[in-house]
Chains A and B, each alone.
Chain A
Amino acid sequence: MTNELAANQENPDAMQETSDRKRRRILGTFVGLALVAVAAILIAEFDAGISAWFKARGVAKNPLEFPLIAAALGLIVNGLLRGTKTYAFVEPGIKTELFLKIGLVLMGARVSLPDLVTKGAGGLIQAVIMVAAVFFFTWWLATRLRIPETLKAVMACAVSICGVSAAIAAAGAVLAKKKEITYVTALVIVTALPLMALMPWIAQAIGLPADVAGAWFGGNIDTTAAVVGAGTIHGEEAQAVATVVKMAQNAFIGIAAFLLATYFVVRVERKPEEKPGVSMIWQRFPKFVLGFALMSILASFGVFSPAAIGTIKVLYKWAFAMAFFSIGLELSLRELGKMGWRPIVVYMSATVFNTVLALGVATLIFGTLGL
C-alpha cells in the first residue's frame, strides 16, 4: 500500500489508473449485489409459484425446493455473464460466504440451546472422526499421486473440513498459490452442487431419520452453503442438524491451519524459528459460529417472540437464497482442466470415501447412540 502510494505520487497516470480501478470495483460490487438481490426476489417468486402448483396437484412436499432453483438460476446467469464477458465486473458483489453467514447467524434464533448442546456435542465427536480420517486419506492418496505439497494441503483441508473457507484458511497457512485456491474452489463447487441435489433424495429413498440425514449432509458435503441447501431440501429438522454438525466441523479450521502452518515451517521449509503462535487458532476461528450460538442463547431466554422468529425465518431464507444463487454463479469449469487429472482423481476419491464414512459415523452417533 505504501509502495503503491509512493509510486502514485511519482506517476500521476498510475494514480489515475488506481483510482479508476477502485471506482470500477465499487460500482461492480453494487451491481453484483443488486443482481443477487433481484435474483433472490425471482427465486422467491418461483418458489411460491412452484409450491402452489404442486399443492394444487395434491403433492404436499415440493420436490423442487428453493436451493435447487437458486443454484440452477445461478448457473444460467453464470453462463450469461461469462458469455458476455461481464463476470469480472460483477464478481466483487458475489459474496457467497457473507450471505451464508448472515443467514446462519439469524438461523441461531430457531435452534434451541439444549438442541445446540446435544447436536453440537454429537457434531463435535463426528467432526473429530471425519476431519481426521478424511484429511489423512486425502493426504495419503495425494502423496501417492505426487500432488504438490501446497495443493495437497489445500485440498485435504477443503474436502475434510468445510470446502472453500477451509481452502482459504489452509492456503494462508501454507502460502499456497492463488491459482491453487481457485482450482480447489472449482472442485468444491462441482462436487457440492450434485451432492446437494442427490443426498436428500438418497436419504429419503433409504429411509434415514431426519437427524441422521442432517448429520450425514453435515459430515459429507464440503461447502457449508450446500450443506444448508441439502438440509433445506430434506426438511426443517435435517436443516437444523446439518447446520449444527457442519458448524462443529467449521470450528476445526483454526486448529487445522495452525497445525499445517507448523508442519510446513518445520518439515517442508525447515525454518523452526518461524513457528506460528497458538493465537493463530483464534485468528482463523470462524466467528460467525459465535453469532449463531449467541442468537440461540437469546432465543432460549425468550428474547424473540414467536412472531419475531417467524420473520427471522423468512429473512434467513432470503440470505440462503442469495448464497445458493451465488454458488451457481461461482462455478468455473475452465479452472478444472488446468492441473491435469491427478488432483481430480484425489478429490473425487476423497469425496466418495467421505460420503460412505459419514453415512456410517452419522448412523452410529445420531442413530444408534441417539445423540
Chain B
Amino acid sequence: MTPAAERRDRLALTWRDPAGWRGFLTTVDHKRIAARYIVTALLLLFLAGMLALDMRWQLSTAENTRMGPQLYNESFSLHGSTMLFLVSVPVMEAMALWLVPLMLGQRNMAFPRLGAFSYWLYLGGVLTLWIAHALDITPDLGWFEYPPLSGPAYSPGHRADIWAQMITFTEVAALCASVNVAATILKMRPPGMTLARMPVFLWAMLVASFMTIASMPAIMLVTTMLIADRLVSTHFFAPDAHGDVLLFQHLFWFFGHPEVYIIFIPATGFVSSIVETFSRRRLFGHHVLVLAILAIGFLAFGLWVHHMFAVGLPRLGNDFYTAASMAIALPAGLQMFCWIATMATGRPWFATPMLWMLGFVSTFVIGGLSGVMTASAALDLQLTDTYFVVAHFHYVLVGGAMFPLFGAFCYWYPKATGRLMSERWGRIAFALIVGGFNLGFFPMHLLGLLGMPRRVYTYPAAMGWEGLNQIATAGSVVAVAGGLVFVANALWSYRHGKPASADPWGASTLEWAGEAPSPPWNFAYTPVVDSLTPLWSTNPALPVMEGIAIDRREVLVTSVTDAVPLYRQKSASPSIWPLAAAVAVAAMFIGSIFTPWAVAIGLLPIGATLTGWFWPHRERATTGPLRTRS
C-alpha cells in the first residue's frame, strides 16, 4: 500500500512552513536549512576559487605585477580561511543535516531550531569575513594566523580580529550542528537499525561529529586568547611576559589536524554509499570500514605536532608524531581496499557519481602517499613551507573531500529535486575538473622539490620555476571551467533535467524509500529495518510502523544501541527565535572586536532571545503561590 492522500494532506498541514518571508526566516525544516548551507558554501567555493585563479594568474610569469605583496597576502589568507572554515567543514555538516533524518526514516533532526541557529551563525561568519573584505579589512596572515605576527605589536588594526571572530562564528555553528547530528543518529534510528545495521554514512557523520566536539573548542579557545592579547593586553603569546607563541600552534593544530579528518570522514560516508549503490552489491568489509573510521577518528588527535616539525621540538616528540602520522595510513588504506574490492567484485555501473569515486581513489591515494612522505620529520624539514606541501594538502582535501562531495551532489540531486543531472555534461565536468586539477597541482610537487616556497607573491625568472607555474595555471583554468560546467548542469537540470523515479539508482538505504523530492514531513510512516541494505530486501513492500502523530509535529526516539522504540518526542515548530538569538550572538561577537564590554552587555540580549526560544507554552499555574486566581 502507499500512503493515502488524506494522510499526506494531514502531514502537509502539520509540517508546512509559514508562507513567504516569514517561512524563510522561521523554518526548521532540515532540508531547507541544509540546502541554504550548501548553496552558501558553494557560492563561497566559487569566490575562493576565483581568488585562487587570480593568484595563479599572478604566478604564471616571473616578476609579474598583477598583484603586490599585500594583495597576494590577502588573497591567500581569504582563500584558505574561506575554503577551510566556510566551505569544507560547513558543507559536510550541511550534507549531514540534509541526509541524516532521511537515512533514518525520520521527519526532522533531534533539535530542529538548533539547526536553524547553526545556519544563521554560520552566515554571520561568512558576512563577517566577506563584508570586512569589501571594506578592505581583509585578514592577511594566512589561514592560521600565528602570533607574534598576529599579536598586537605586529598587526595593528582589525584584520586579525576579523579572522579570529569569523572562526568563533563558524565554530559555534559547527558545534551546534555536531551535537544535533550526534543526538539524532544515536537516539532517532528507526526500529531495527541497531548499531550493527547502521550504514557507513551514518557512522562517518557520527564520528565526524564527535571529532568536532572534541577538537573545535581548541580553536575557539585559542582565537579567544589571541583576541584577549590584542584587546585587553593579556600575555598568552608574549614571550617577554612569560607567554609562549608555540602555545598558539599547539592549540591551533590540536584542532587543525582533526579538522582535516572532520572534512575527510564525511567524504568516506559519501564514497561508501555511492560505491555500494553503483557496484550493485553490499559493501565489502562493512565492519572494517566502520572500524577504520573509528581508528582514524582516534589517531587524528595524535598527529597535530607534524604541522610543527620545523619549530624545534624535542626529537623524541617528532619521532612519535612521525610514527602516528604514518600509522593513520593503515586504516585509510584499509578503507581504500574495501572500496576497491566492492567495485571489483560487484557489477559496477559507471554513471557520473561513480566516476567521481574513481577520481577520488586515484587522486586521494597520491595525496596520501605524499602525506606519508611529509610525515617523516627529516624530509618534512626540507619540504615544509614549499609548494610540495601546497600540492599535498590540495590532493588530500580536493581529492579526498571535494571529489566525493561532487559525486554526492550528483548522486543525491534527484532526491532533492526529482530530476536527474545531465550525464553527458556531468562527464564533461568530471573530466575537466579531475584533469585540470591534476594538471594544476601535480607540477607543484616538482616546484616544491625545486625549492619554491609557498606564500610568495612572485619569483625571479632565474629560478627556473616559470614553466611549471604556467602548467599549474593552465590546469587551474581548466578545473575552474569544469566547475562552471558542473554548476551550469545543476542549474539547467533543476528545470529541464530528466524526471527521476523516487529511487533512480536502485540504492540500498532508507532515504530513497520516500517521495522525490522529499516533502517537508519526509516519511508518512516509520520504516522498520532488518538489514544493512533495507531497500535491497526481496520483499517489494517496505515494512513500516504507524502511530507517530500526523496532526502534530512528533518524532520517534529509540535506544542507543538496539534502536528499540522508547517514546514519542514533540518536534519543534517554526520559530523566529533562532534567528533572533543568532543576531544577538553576532552583535556580541562583532562588538567584542572593539570593546571587552560587549561581552558583558551582549549577554543580556542573548539571554533574552534564548529565553524566548526555550519558553514553553503551557497553561498558567493553578497551584502554588503565583497561581492564577479567577
Is chain B a partner of chain A in the same complex?
Answer: no
Which B residues lie at the A interface, using CB under 8 A? none
Give the interface of A toward B (CB within 8 A).
none
